[in-house]
Amino acid sequence: MAEKITAVKGMNDLLPEEIGRFQFIERTAHAVFGRYGFGEVRTPVLEKTALFVRGVGEETDIVGKEMYTFEDKGGESNSGTMVSLRPEGTAPAVRAGIEHNVFQQDPMVRWYYLGPMFRRERQQRGRYRQFSQVGAEIYGPASPYAEAELLDSAVAFLTALGLPDISLELNSLGDEICRPKYVEALVAYLKGRAAELCPDCQRRLETNPLRVLDCKVEGCKAVTQSVPEVEAHLCEPCKAHYATLLGLLDALGIKYRKNPRIVRGLDYYTRTVFECVSQTVGEGGLGSQNTVLAGGRYDKLIKNLGGPEVPAVGFAAGIERLAILLAAQKKDFREPPALFVASMNEAARQRALTLAAGLRRAGVSVDQDLRGGSLKSQLKRADKSGAKYVVVLGESELASGKAKLKLMASGEEREVDLACLAEALG
Ligand code: HAM
C-alpha cells in the first residue's frame, strides 16, 4: 500500500459537521455585524512581512517567532520581497484602508472580516497553526463611545451564538504619556525580583516588560500578584476615558470585570484592552486557551503604517474556539434537508431521482439514497439525515401521481399531488 501523506502539523481539515458549526458562526457574524453597520472586507492571506514587523511589533512572539515568512521569488516587481502569511487581520485591514484612501474619505468607518490566519504556535486544544478569525474594527472616533458600541456588538455576537458563561474582562494600558511611567515603575519592581522570573520573562524585562504580566508560568504569576497596578498610573485623560467607558457599559447593561493583568500580545494597543473568556470548564471547555475574543484601542497604528492620524478600536474572535464551545451542545448545526425521497422499485427509483432534481431546482433541499437498496435501509438513512418530511414512491404512487407525505417529527401523514410537492413543502 502507498504511504499516506498527512496534513502539515497544526493545519486542520474541517469536515462537514465542523463546517456546519463554522457556517453557523459565519452566518451569525454577517447578521450581527451587518446590523451594526459594519462592511465586510477581504484582504489577501499574504502580506509584506514589514507590515507585521511595523504593525504588530518586532518584539512580539507573533512576529519574532511565529510567522510563516519566505521570499517572494518569481522575477516580478515583488521579487525579493519578504512576505508572510498573515498572523492577524488588524494590520492588513489598516493597510488596505490606507492604500484605498478610505480614512481620508470617511471620518468614521466600520469594517469586519472573516478568514484564515497563520501562526507557528505549539499546537493544543484551541490553538492551531492555521486558524480562523472573525474581526471587527471601528476607525475614526477617539471617544469611548466607539469601544462601547464595539463591545456591544461583540456581546451581541456571542449571545446570538447561544454561548453561555463568557465573561468580559477589561483593562487600560494608558497612552504614550502615562504608559512609559508605568512601565518604568513595573520594571523597577520586577528587576528586584528578576531571579524568580522564567528565562522568557527575564528577556521580556528588557524587550517587552508588560508581557511579564500575562505570563502563565507559576513563578511569574506569583511575582506579578503584587506588581504596581496600571490604573493607579493612568494620566487624567486616560483615567477619564476608562471611567466613561465603564459608565457606558453599565448603561448598555453589559457586565464586565476589570482585570489589570490583561496586556495583550500585540504592540499596537493604547488605552482600552479587553478579552472575552469562556468560563466553561471540563470536557466541553477550552482549557488554557479559553480566550474566545480579544482586542482593544490602537490609536497610533494607522499613522505608524503611513496613514493619517486616525484612532481605532477593534477585536477578533477565534472561530475554532467558538466552534469547540458549540460542539459541547451536541447539536448538529447543519441545515437538515426538507425532504427525503425513498423508492420501492427500479421504476420508482428513477421517478425519485427526477422528483428530487425538480424540487431542488424549485429551491427545496432534498436527500435520497443513491445506492437504492431496501426500503428499510433507505428509511434508516432518512432518519439519520434529519429530513423534516419523507415520501415513499412505489407502483401505486407512480400510477396515481399522488403520495403520502410524512412529517417525521410526529409521524403524521397527508396525501399530496407529486406535481405540487414543492408548494406542499413550502
Ligand atoms: P489575538 O488576541 O492575537 O488578537 O487573537 C484574537 C483571538 O484569535 C484570540 O482570542 C483567539 O480566540 C484567536 N486565536 C489567536 N491565536 C490562535 C491560534 N493559534 N489558534 C486558534 N485561535 C487563535 C488579534 O489577532 C488582534 N488582531 C485582535 C484585534 C482586532 N485587535 C484590534 N482589532
Digit-coded pLDDT (tens) for 308-343? 999 999 999 999 999 999 999 988 899 999 999 999
Q: Is the CB of 90 under 6 A from ligand 1?
A: yes
Q: Within 13 A of 205's CA, how many CA atoms are on the CB side? A: 22
CA 264 / ligand 1 centre spacing (Å): 10
DSSP E strands in 78-215: the ranges are: 81-85, 109-118, 130-139, 166-172
Phi/psi at 295 (nearest 5 deg)?
175, -155
Q: Best mutation site among 33, 133, 297, 313 for ligand 1, i.e. most ligand atoms within 8 A of its Cβ?
A: 133
Name the grid cell of 142.
477617539
The least confident of 149-153, 187-191, 280-284, 352-356 is 280-284
Q: How many CB atoms lie within 10 A of CB 221?
A: 13
| Class for the domain spanning 16-176+234-327 | alpha beta
**What is the 8-class DSSP label of residue 242?**
H
The pLDDT, as a whole number, for residue 113 is 98
Q: Is the CB of 292 under 6 A from ligand 1?
A: yes
Whether the Cβ atoms of residue 389 and residue 371 lie closer than 8 Å to each other: no
Minimal-distance CA residue to ligand 1 atom 16: 127
The reply to whether 16-176+234-327 and 339-425 are identical in fold is: no
Residue 322 buriedness (CB in 10 A; 0-12 / 13-18 / 19+):
buried
Q: Is the pLDDT of residue 31 over 90?
A: yes
The pLDDT, as a whole number, for residue 226 is 85
CA 188 / ligand 1 centre spacing (Å): 30
The pLDDT, as a whole number, for residue 80 is 79
The least confident of 33-47, 120-134, 198-212, 240-254 is 198-212
The pLDDT, as a whole number, for residue 37 is 98
Interval 168-203: pLDDT, tens: 999 999 999 999 999 999 999 999 999 999 999 999
Q: Is the pLDDT of residue 23 over 70?
A: yes
**What is the 8-class DSSP label of residue 33?**
H
Question: How far from 41 is each of 30, 53, 182, CA to CA, in Å?
Answer: 12, 22, 36
Minimal-distance CA residue to ligand 1 atom 23: 318
Confidence of residue 76 (pLDDT cuts 50, 70, 90): low
Q: Is the CB of 60 under 6 A from ligand 1?
A: no
Q: How far apart are CA 316 and CA 113, in angstroms?
A: 9
pTM: 0.93
The pLDDT, as a whole number, for residue 164 is 82
The mean per-residue pLDDT over the stretch 236-262 comes to: 97
Q: Is the CB of 290 under 6 A from ligand 1?
A: no
Helix (H, G, I), strand (E, B), or coil: what is residue 191? helix
Interval 129-157: pLDDT, tens: 999 999 999 999 999 999 999 999 999 99
Q: Is the pLDDT of residue 78 over 70?
A: no
Cα-trace Rg, the chain: 27
The pLDDT, as a whole number, for residue 330 is 87
The pLDDT, as a whole number, for residue 283 is 85
The proportion of the chain whose per-residue pLDDT surpasses 90, expressed as a percent, equals 85
Q: How far apart are CA 254 and CA 170, in angstroms?
A: 12
CA 61 / ligand 1 centre spacing (Å): 13
Domain spans in the chain, listed from the N-terminal domain onward: 16-176+234-327, 179-226, 339-425
Which atom of ligand 1 is nearest to 264's Cα? 2
The pLDDT, as a whole number, for residue 216 is 83
The pLDDT, as a whole number, for residue 75 is 61
Q: Is the CB of 118 under 6 A from ligand 1?
A: no
Chain centroid, CA 338 distance in Å = 30
Residue 39, amino acid: G
Q: 146, 158, 123: which is closest to 29 by C-alpha?
A: 158
Pick the CATH number of 339-425 from 3.10.510.20, 3.40.50.800, 1.20.140.10, 3.40.50.300: 3.40.50.800
Q: How far apart are CA 101 and CA 109, in angstroms?
A: 12
Report the first-to-last Cα separation within the chain, whole angstroms: 50
The mean per-residue pLDDT over the stretch 389-409 comes to: 97
The mean per-residue pLDDT over the stretch 373-397 comes to: 97
Chain centroid, CA 294 distance in Å = 10
Q: How far apart are CA 149 and CA 240, in angstroms?
A: 18
Whether the Cβ atoms of residue 152 and residue 255 lie closer than 8 Å to each other: no
Q: How far apart are CA 273 and CA 394, in angstroms?
A: 65
The proportion of the chain whose per-residue pLDDT surpasses 70, expressed as a percent, equals 99
